[in-house]
Structure 1
């Protein structure tokens, strides 16, 4: 739990530092996620199962340089019986005015997910600005560790 609080503190510092910058925007984010579990069942081979869940939280979009942004997010995620906190730290690049690509690590704290509660994963995302305030995004999180499934997110973001 101390480790989790440390990461939340770092996230708060980054967001607080971003408030000093002239081009920082904040917003809400949420949607559905699809979690892909790979299960080996004896001699029958791999049997991928998919669970549908939800997520919601907030983000800060900090302009670093022309076309480059730093976008930390803090999300609460629910999948079946699992609940966890996800904190992706994206480097965002503007492909054009409305289309963006985001890549970076995500820090995850699982509530009662076996014995290892903290996991680091890799994220890649595409976002499209529908309006100046509303965007749609598609994210993919790659589970690097053995018990860390891959997750696809589809949702909306709203700039405040």
Structure 2
């Protein structure tokens, strides 16, 4: 079974289990991402390259208890010549009515690599609720391997 289908099935399974027990919101999101490559050029020191891309996707927000939520997402990311899926699973905490912090792992499937297409990264994010349905979010993704760079995502989410 292709990894994309596995990730999609996992997203549906998590959604089905938690929707039976908790209040659930679904939505769409999108925005810009900035990826930071740290490349050492001969003996001249570090050269940090930044590449800009876009992302779109869907999310589900499952209330676990009080101010804690589980928020899995499935995002399609276009970054120059690279296209990949990003599937973070966040533990979300509501600091107050408008401000949230999100932390968790993200699984990434790269369509354009010849080998090692599946990568795991760590995400730290913040969201600010502009309205009850619209939020402004930012997340920072940390890559654990040289070929998996760090990234900053800025965008909007809309609850359906």
TM-score (norm 2): 0.96
| Paired residue total | 160
1:43-82 superposed matches below 5 A: 43-82=43-82
- State the distance in 1 between where 2:24 and 2:109 align: 26
Report deviation, 1:132. 0.3
1:81-92 superposed matches below 5 A: 81-92=81-92
Is this contact kept in 1: 2:3–2:109, CA < 8 A? no
- State the distance in 2 between where 1:145 and 1:9 align: 26
* Alignment correspondent of 1:153: 153
TM-score (norm 1): 0.96
- Runs of 5+ unmatched residues, structure 1: none
- State the distance in 1 between where 2:157 and 2:119 align: 25
- Offset from partner CA, 1:69-106 (integer Å, 9 cap, x none): 00000000000000000000000000001100000000
* Alignment correspondent of 1:13: 13
* Alignment correspondent of 1:110: 110
Give the secondary-structure state (helix, strand or coil) at the position aligned to 1:14.
helix
- State the distance in 2 between where 1:59 and 1:6 align: 17
- State the distance in 1 between where 2:26 and 2:7 align: 19
Give the secondary-structure state (helix, strand or coil) at the position aligned to 2:43.
helix
Q: Please report the RMSD computed on the Cα atoms of aligned residues, expressed in angstroms.
A: 1.1
Report deviation, 1:22. 4.1
* Alignment correspondent of 1:137: 137
- Offset from partner CA, 1:24-43 (integer Å, 9 cap, x none): 00000000000000111101
